[in-house]
């Protein structure tokens, strides 16, 4: 009996350092599964175009926001009522869009029954508003013939300012170089006489002083001779 008890005790010991205690959690384990991308077929694009054109024409422009109630998912309508949408109080940025432009969306991601698109709407001609970029998500709901796409979110993510203040100002033209406004005419000959007279004086004055001194010397010498006699 002692040998059997000893053998059972050895078998009960942890193997390879295994811990005897284990941690348990009531939270379910979360498994992240990446969905396989789904290509956008021409038929799928036509169905999405139809929904987006109607949604832009009613909800975005606010011309008939209550009509967009039937084009939206339950998540899009959460926290609001039909009366709110009828008053134009819905989670969509109002914009004077052209509904036909709703067909110009590009695909951001496409998986089964879920499509995320990028849509840029331009204002009508003459509007002072700039273009607006929207992030749009649609989900396909229902079964059979009632299966259709609905708008799950329609969020404005960027606006573009095209006002005159934001446009670069044209360069100002350089000032025209004008000629100085002074009377034109020829110089008088008197202006040439003045330098000639000045140069003449510079030459004649020393010569005149020399002549005077020479004549004084001659007179002094004559007077000296006259005083001594023959």
Spatial distance between the Cα atoms of 43 and 47, rounded to a whole number of angstroms: 6
Q: Is the pLDDT of residue 3 over 90?
A: no
Contacts of residue 117, Cβ cutoff 8 Å, sequence gap at least 6 = 48, 105, 106, 107, 108, 135, 136, 137, 138
Q: Which of 128-137, 160-169, 218-227 has maximum average pLDDT? A: 128-137
Query: What average pLDDT does the chain have?
Result: 78
Confidence grade of residue 138 (pLDDT, cut at 50, 70, 90):
very high
C-alpha torsion 24→28→29→32, nearest 10: -170
Q: Is the pLDDT of residue 91 over 60?
A: yes
What the block records as the tokens of 177 is 């170089």
- What's the confidence (pLDDT) of residue 21? 40
Q: Is the pLDDT of residue 25 over 50?
A: no
- What's the confidence (pLDDT) of residue 128? 87
Q: In the 3-class helix/strand/coil scheme, how is the chain assigned residue by residue?
A: CHHHHHHHHHHHCCCCCCCCCCCCCCCCCCCCCCCCCCCCCHHHHHHHHHHHHHHHHHHHCCCCHHHHHHHECCCCCCCCCHHHHHCCCCCCCCCCCCHHHHHCCEEEEEECCEEEEEEEECCCCCCCCCCEEEEEEEEEECCHHHCEEEEEEEEEEEECCCCCCCCCCCCCCCCCCCCCCCCCCCCCCHHHHHHHHHHHHHHHHHHHHHHHHHHHHHHHHHHHHHHHCC
How much is the pTM?
A: 0.58
Spatial distance between the Cα atoms of 60 and 62, rounded to a whole number of angstroms: 5
Q: Is the pLDDT of residue 22 over 50?
A: no
Task: Give the model confidence (pLDDT) of 98-111 as tens digits.
Answer: 999 999 999 999 99
- Residues 70, 142 contacting (CB under 8 angstroms): no
Looking at residues 211-222, what average pLDDT do you find? 65
Phi first, then psi, for residue 209 (nearest 5°) are -65, -40
Q: Is the pLDDT of residue 92 over 90?
A: yes
User: Which range, of 14-23, 60-69, 182-191, 212-221, averages the lowest pLDDT?
Assistant: 14-23
> What Cα–Cα distance (Å) separates residue 43 from each residue in 13, 49, 81, 211?
66, 10, 32, 126
Q: Is the pLDDT of residue 225 over 50?
A: yes
Task: Give the model confidence (pLDDT) of 38-69 as tens digits.
Answer: 999 999 999 999 999 999 999 999 999 999 99
- Residues 96, 57 contacting (CB under 8 angstroms): no
Confidence grade of residue 19 (pLDDT, cut at 50, 70, 90):
very low
Q: How many CA atoms lie within 13 A of 179 on its CB side?
A: 3
Task: Give the model confidence (pLDDT) of 32-42 as tens digits.
Answer: 557 899 999 99
Task: Give the model confidence (pLDDT) of 145-197 as tens digits.
Answer: 889 999 999 999 999 887 654 555 555 665 655 555 655 556 566 666 666 66
Looking at residues 123-144, what average pLDDT do you find? 93
- Total Cβ atoms within 10 A of residue 75: 13
* Cα-only R_g, the chain: 54
- What's the confidence (pLDDT) of residue 35? 84
């Amino acid at each position: 009996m002692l040998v059997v008890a000893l053998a059972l005790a050895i078998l009960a010991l942890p193997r390879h350092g295994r811990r005897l205690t284990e941690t348990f959690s009531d939270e379910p384990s979360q498994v992240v599964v990446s969905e396989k991308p789904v290509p956008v077929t021409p038929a799928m694009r036509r169905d999405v175009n139809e929904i987006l054109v109607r949604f832009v024409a009613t909800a975005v422009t606010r011309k008939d926001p209550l009509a967009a109630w039937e084009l939206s998912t339950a998540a899009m309508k959460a926290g609001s009522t039909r009366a709110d949408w009828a008053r134009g109080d819905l989670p969509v940025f109002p914009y004077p869009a052209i509904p036909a432009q709703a067909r110009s969306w590009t695909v951001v991601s496409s998986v089964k029954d879920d499509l995320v698109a990028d849509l840029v709407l331009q204002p009508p001609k003459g509007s002072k508003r700039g273009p607006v970029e929207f992030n749009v998500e649609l989900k396909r709901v229902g079964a059979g013939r009632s299966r259709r796409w609905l708008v799950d979110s329609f969020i404005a993510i960027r606006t573009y300012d095209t006002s005159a203040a934001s446009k670069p100002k044209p360069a100002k033209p350089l000032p025209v170089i004008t000629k100085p406004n002074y009377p034109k005419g020829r110089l008088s000959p008197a202006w040439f006489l003045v330098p000639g007279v000045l140069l003449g004086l510079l030459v004649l004055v020393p010569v005149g002083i020399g002549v005077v001194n020479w004549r004084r010397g001659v007179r002094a010498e004559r007077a000296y001779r006259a005083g001594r006699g023959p």
